[in-house]
Structure formats: structure tokens, C-alpha cells
Amino acid sequence: MLSDKDTYKDKGARRLLVKELREKGIVDEHVLQAIGKVPRHLFIHNDFRHHAYLDKAFPIGEGQTISQPYTVAYQTQLLHVEKGDCILEIGTGSGYQAAILIEMGAKLTSIERQEKLFVKTSSFFKKMGYHANLILGDGSNGSPENAPFDKIIVTAGAPKVPESLVNQLKIGGILIIPVGDNKTQTMHTLIKKTDGSIEDIAMDVFRFVPLIGNQAWQ
């Protein structure tokens, strides 16, 4: 069961989480503000409610997880979100990362391959008044009908960068994707240059659930 209250205690716990993320090196004030606003405890099962503002990943069903707040903040910071950015997220999951992007003013399309999570998050977003184009499908193919995108964020670990995602980026666009094996993945920032070439910057190491699909793990 999902809870629906946002109490003073929850708000206080969020403030402490923001402080912790700042201490861990997150510097983008817009990201920190969004983390301070989005009620993470409402995105997870009530059983975990009292742990919602620990910097930890939690199960959300179907063998999947809501990412650790630090990971969400880290990836979002790399995206350099600007109001009105057209953003594609691969791996909607609980919708928490999506809500952070919406809070920051993104026009969001988000794809989830697990039907149960897609249905649950779609109805939760309706209830919460979060507006996004939520799609059920294989995000490793991107979303050609909604492309091109200013930014793309992948929230599952890929064996390689799917070419379709690079193709669906605008010139000047940014793709953030964890790439590696089934144990650890390195976060990559890909930037599409004016001449269409790609700059690829490898960053820190993380551990994600696998990106499963046509241009990912089979």
C-alpha cells in the first residue's frame, strides 16, 4: 500500500537528506531544491516509509528498485536540466526520478518495460498531478515518435550505448547512461557536438539493475 500524507516529519527528513547530498558533493541547487520538494516516501511501499529519506535504494516490486537519492541527484546534475527541456527517461520504475525532472520543469517522456510498474506509476502520477508522457515498452529503442530530445537519461545498466538513443538526441543534447557488466557500471555523459560527433566522458562507478531489451541485455 502506498501512503498519501506528507507530514512535517517527512519534510524535516527531506531537509536532512538534502544536507547529506550536499555533503556528498551535489552542488546543483535546482537538483537539491527538487529533492527537497518531491515526497520520496510516497513512491515506495508503506513498509519502507520510515527509511524513505535514507540515502538508499529500495525494492519497488517486479525485482526492480527505486534508485538511491545520491544516484538520482548525480544523474540529474549531469543532465543540466533547464525549464522546458524535452527529456526522455528510460526506466520509469517508481516514477521518483521522473518526478524530480518534472519538478525541475522538464517536458518528460518516460518508458518502462514492466507492465505492472507502468500501470502503478501511471495511476500514481494521475493522483499526484504529475504530467508526463508515460510509455510501456522497450526504452532501448528510444521513442522515435517523440524525438529529438534535449536530454536523455537511462536509469538501468546497459552493456553498451544504444545507437537509437544517440540518434534521437538534438545537436548540443546530453545523454547520461550507466554502461558496464551485470555487476558494476560506469556513468557516461555523451554530448552531441554541432558537427554531429559525440564527446563521451566516463565518470564514477555505480550499480544498477540491468537495461533489458532489443539494444541492451537480452
Active site residues: 67
Measured CA to CA, the distance from residue 118 to residue 65 in angstroms comes to 14
**Which residue lies nearer to ligand SAM by CB, 96 or 130?**
96
3-class secondary-structure state, position 94: coil
The residues, ordered by sequence, that sit 6+ positions from 95 with a Cβ below 8 Å of its Cβ are 43, 110, 121, 124, 125, 130
- Write out the three cell numbers for 146: 517523440
Count of residues interacting with ligand SAM (CB under 6 A): 26
Q: Which of 2, 147, 191, 212 binds ligand SAM (CB under 6 A)?
A: 212
Q: Closest CB to ligand SAM among 10 and 76? A: 76
Which of 41, 46, 63, 51 lies closest to 1 in space, CA to CA? 46
Q: Which of 39, 69, 91, 173 binds ligand SAM (CB under 6 A)?
A: 91
Q: For 17-75, what is the HEC assignment?
A: HHHHHHHCCCCCHHHHHHHHHCCHHHHCCHHHHHHCCCCCCEEEECCEEECCHHHHHHH
- Smallest gap from Cβ 13 to ligand SAM, in A, equals 18
Toward ligand SAM, which CB reaches closer, 181 or 199?
Answer: 181
Q: Does 155 bind ligand SAM (CB under 6 A)?
A: yes
The amino acid occupying position 37 is K
Q: Please choose, out of 20-28, 165-173, 178-186, 209-217, the segment that lies near ligand SAM by the rule CB under 6 A.
A: 209-217
Binder to ligand SAM among 90, 132, 152, 176 (CB under 6 A)? 90
Structural contact between residues 71 and 207, judged by C-beta atoms closer than 8 angstroms: no
User: In angstroms, rounded to a whole number, what is the distance separating the alpha carbons of residues 151 and 193?
Assistant: 13
CB-nearer residue toward ligand SAM: 160 or 193:
160
Find the binding residues for ligand SAM in span 29-88 (CB under 6 A).
64-67
Of the ranges 48-56, 90-98, 178-186, 197-205, which one interacts with ligand SAM (CB under 6 A)? 90-98
Alpha carbons 7 and 5: distance in angstroms, whole number: 6
Report the site for ligand SAM in 103-142 (rule: CB under 6 A). Answer: 111-114, 117, 138-140
Interface with ligand SAM (CB under 6 A): 64-67, 90-91, 93-94, 96-97, 111-114, 117, 138-140, 155-156, 208-209, 211-213, 216
